[in-house]
Amino acid sequence: MTERISQRAQLFTGADNWTSRADDADGIPSIRFSDGPHGLRIERTAGFGFNESHPSTAYPTASLTACSFDRALQKELGEHLAAECIRDGVQVLLGPGINHKRDPRCGRNFEYYSEDPYLSGELGAAYVNGVQSCGVGVSVKHFAGNSREYGRMVEDSIIDERALHELYLAQFERVIRESRPWSVMCAYNRLNGEYCCQNRPLMSLARDRWGFDGVFLSDWGAVADPVKSIRAGLNLEMPGGNHGSAERIIDAVTLQNLDPEVLDESTERIRLLAERTAQPHCEESGNDHEAFALKAAQESAVLMKNNGALPVGTRDMIALIGPFAHDPRIQGTGSSRVNATQQDSLYEVMKEKRAMFSYAPGYTVKNHHPDTALEEQALNLAERASKVIVMAGLPEGDEAEGYDRTGIALPENQNRLIQKLARINKNVIVVLQCGAPVELPWRNEVNAVLCMYLAGCRSGEAAWNLLSGSVNPCGKLAETWPVTLADVPSAECFRESLLQVQYRESIYTGYRYYDASGIEPAFAFGHGCSYTTYEYHDLTVRNEGQKITAAVQVTNTGNREGKEIVQLYVAKDRSQIARCTKELKGFEKVNLKPGETKTVSFQLDERSFSYYDVQKHDWSVEAGQYSILIGASSRDIRCEAVLFLDGTLHPYSMIPSDYLKADTQGSERFSREAFASILGGSIPPVRPAKPFTGNSSVAELSESGMGKLIRKGIAFAQSRLSGKGVSEDMILEAPVRSIFWVSSHATWDTVDAIADVFNGKSTVLKVYRTLRGRN
């Protein structure tokens, strides 16, 4: 075997946890990667889990910044992140996360933008443009169909072709076409039967149809088979190490099971990434990152409700309630968790601003149980106060990377306290800190609700500026907030199986579902209040062949300057096929002084009116009448116009027009039978537990005769691992090949040998013999 093949096979696997390998002979330097969708996370130590990192700025998470509907703000965020990367010698930032928000229980939703692929794509593209304009690369993630944490490394996402293209791939396509990211991260899961890291149709679609010319790298530990992966189009397996991937690739070339040209092409992709990131050029001087974090939080926070309690006045005596007032939740937990250089709190800021207030915790975050003594203290303050500010939200352990929520309720002690406070004070204001929607059973009882999501290191000052009125709220919800979990379209099929998740709701997710089903949400997609009012009028639509322009006049009819997010939706009138009631196809944020009027314009193209035709395997426009809807939210349409378009007279969709209905028992909105029909006749079976392979979960192994021994091994592993945030369930849901995280001596031969032991074909001694560096 030539030295050239060996060198290029080595380049497929990283050098360590965070760097690629260098090839000095071929002039390819090492590339350094780092976590950082909303803040740079450079680990101080190696090891399994989420380890302590170097200090950096904690910006608001994507769940909040998406509510800005602001491309310029996302680009500026990218520039700030790039400046910190340059300062610390990072060439590629692992972000943004643009996964579709299918269900509010996903533990990692705080890292993602929206339930709408157009919004996610536009914001993601702006973020990428900001980072890469400074010569720092990004890795857009997680490609694709990764919408839950439960079983994420072993589950198979079963998605029908139309929903896959319209909801789960559309944002990746938009980002790739608009901003040309230098790398894309393939997800852990299988997609319709094949692991994403070895899914040739998935990667070929991005390269051949969308024009992606960058590096496909794996999520950390996502490679199930290095030969299949590089053959399918993966260029880099991370994390790195000496676990035998290169040897398997070399063997495959030797046996003529792998074309050596595949190695050459992959090497050139790595070389191009190294060249692109070789000369970063942001100026660090003058970058006040914490000031931008404050700006981003203020531009994004959503005033969900206000019946007059806000803004608070200088003469208001305030009762400030809740532990989050002292110790706020500013970010999520997992690989994106930042070691913040600074962090404020609402309590500190109110004290600094000399607001008139008294504080009581009211509840504890240590458990969900009401505490009568804490409640009484808070109620006594509330009785004497003119206004009550309650800091509420999800405790840190309730949502995180690695596991999902089992429900969407706030802790019982918070809900009970808020309801009691609302009975004795008419001016209760709730400030929410959480990474995703929660049920708000008291929403009609309180006066105001300010949603901060996870607002970063300056969350306290941002909240006070909004509450006090020095800043006018302008954010709008990038996802629907349901009344209850039962209203969520994926409620019944989100967690049915560890090994498979059926996306039975198809194209009906988020506001698309709530519109089609007639279910009233607690707060609609695109909703947000202001301290001023806006009027929309004089909508015009011009069809000039290849370009359609819509323009509307927006007037600030209040007495305060503010920013309004104007949204454009497209609806197909009397469609012959199943279509969503309307879809977001444009948005603009406009600043208006009192009495000022501005024209807001939108450019629409053919894609704005298209659906995905599974017969043609391409996008298609149905001929007929369309409505252009301009609104302040998906449920607050202010202006409407119609136009007629040429297109196909015979649209095709496997989704029947009456797909949205309960099954024969009335227990499910989307029956398995109906879902099978749109898949082509049957749902793929869940893979059998036996024979065991390297992709078998530890949970499956634990059901064997060695189950007790495995449980003891998990307890031992947890006790010795340096990483934080790794639970027993996360280890049980991991595949056998995750042993690479635990032992630097393990190889692919070790993984195969472990499987053989559990299949009764080998002994533990053989496992020992496969370990590199054994004594």
- Residue pLDDT, tens place only, 419-439: 999 999 999 999 999 999 999
**Residue 646 among the catalytic residues:** no
Q: Which two tokens stand for residue 300?
A: 């994004």
Q: Tens digits of per-residue pLDDT, 246-262? A: 999 999 999 999 999 99
Q: Per-residue pLDDT tens for 50-77? A: 667 788 999 999 999 999 999 999 999 9
Report pLDDT digits (tens) over 298-335: 999 999 999 999 999 999 999 999 999 999 999 998 88
Sequential DSSP letters for 496-507: S-SSEEE-TTTT
**Facing residues of 612 across strands?**
619
Kindly state the average pLDDT of the residues 557-584.
Answer: 97
- Of 399, 382, 495, the closest CA to residue 438 belongs to 399
Question: What is the value of pTM for the model shown?
Answer: 0.96
How confident is the model over 272-284, as a mean pLDDT?
89
User: Given 70, 103, 156, 219, which residue is catalytic?
Assistant: 219
**Spatial separation of the C-alpha atoms in residues 11 and 488, rounded to whole Å:** 44
| Distance of alpha carbon 190 from alpha carbon 492, whole angstroms | 21
* Tokens linked to 292: 């931008």
The yes-or-no verdict on residue 685 having pLDDT over 50 is: yes
Helix (H) or strand (E) holding 303: strand 302-306
The answer to whether residue 774 scores a pLDDT higher than 90 is no
Whether 707 shows a pLDDT value over 90: the answer reads no
138 SS3 class:
strand
DSSP class per residue in 602-631: EEE-GGGGEEEETTTTEEEEB-EEEEEEEE
* Beta carbons of 176 and 182 less than 8 angstroms apart: no
pLDDT in tens, 450-497: 999 999 999 999 999 999 999 999 999 999 999 999 999 999 999 999
d(CA 152, CA 29): 32
Parallel, antiparallel, or unpaired: how do β-strands 387-393 and 318-321 relate?
A: parallel
Three-class SS state of 483:
coil
